[in-house]
Amino acid sequence: MISKEDVLNIASLSRIHLQDNEIDQLTKNLEDILEYIAKLEKLDVSNVEPTSHVLPIENVYREDKVNSSLGQSAALKISTENQNGSFKVPKVIE
């Protein structure tokens, strides 16, 4: 069972502000989906190793040499707001 409070908590963790009508809808949706997913409980997985990736993943390293990179103005071209060569955001420390 998923309660309205659970949904508000998940929304807060997800950093999404929900409207009232969305809360009811999502509560029902998530409940339906979790009920469907519950079929996995039928399987005994106590001796099964998890697979997070099908390939052996390792970090890719390169030599610590200076390469060409995107310049500051090219990087800032995509910015929503910028000032003095930096990304501008609302006040972080109140």
Residues near other proteins (CB under 8 A) are 6-7, 10-11, 13-19, 22, 25-26, 29-30, 32-34, 36-37, 39-41, 43, 45, 48-60, 62, 70, 74-75, 77-81, 87, 89-92, 94
Q: Is 7 exposed, middle or buried (0-12, 13-18, 19+ CB in 10 A)?
A: buried
Cβ-based nearer residue to other proteins, 36 or 66? 36
As measured in angstroms, the least distance from the Cβ of 91 to other proteins is: 5
**Rounded distance between C-alpha atoms, residue 55 and residue 32, angstroms:** 33
As measured in angstroms, the least distance from the Cβ of 56 to other proteins is: 5
Q: ∠ at Cα 53 (48, 58), nearest 5°?
A: 120
